[in-house]
Amino acid sequence: MKRDLNDKIPPPAATAQLHRPFDEDEPHADADVHPHEPLGPDDRLAPLPPNPYKRHRGITRAWYALKHSLNGFRVAIREESAFRQELTLAALMLPIGAFSPVPAASRALLIASVLLVLIVELLNSSVEAAIDRISLERHELSKRAKDLGSAAVTVALFACVTTWGFVLGPVVAGWLGF
């Protein structure tokens, strides 16, 4: 028996079942259907219970996030001397970077490199605070985590100095007549 290309097309009855009208008793895209029900206490794909500390939504959530961020800045300025020093340098360097006689992309690099130092310092301070929250006793893993955070700040500082050197080095050399 010779097969034809039309043999692969489903008969009209099967096609009618695929395109049947919407049935109210069946779940659809708008229904509150969980695609994965928990299989047991060790099921890693089971949905997590709601977090009672995350009760704000929408603009209220954004407002509280801003409030907590400003509180974080206050804590960093009040308690972290390294952040205060870097913030003082940033207050001097950001205007210089913004108004340097270099292309806009180079100005963006200057500003971003300074902001990167502040970001990494804030992250380092948060790691140190979390470690101190766990325990104030000396431990090799605590030391390692704090040293790694300090190394990250050093890399960010090196990247900032290198960026400023490459971008503004030729400008300063031109001013000095080199």
Q: Which residue among 37, 80, 121, 137 is the active-site one?
A: 121
The amino acid occupying position 30 is D
Please, are residues 127 and 73 in contact by the beta-carbon 8 Å criterion? Answer: no
Please, are residues 117 and 156 in contact by the beta-carbon 8 Å criterion? Answer: yes
Q: Is 24 a catalytic residue?
A: no
Rounded to whole angstroms, the Cα distance separating 113 from 43 reads 43
Positions marked active-site: 121
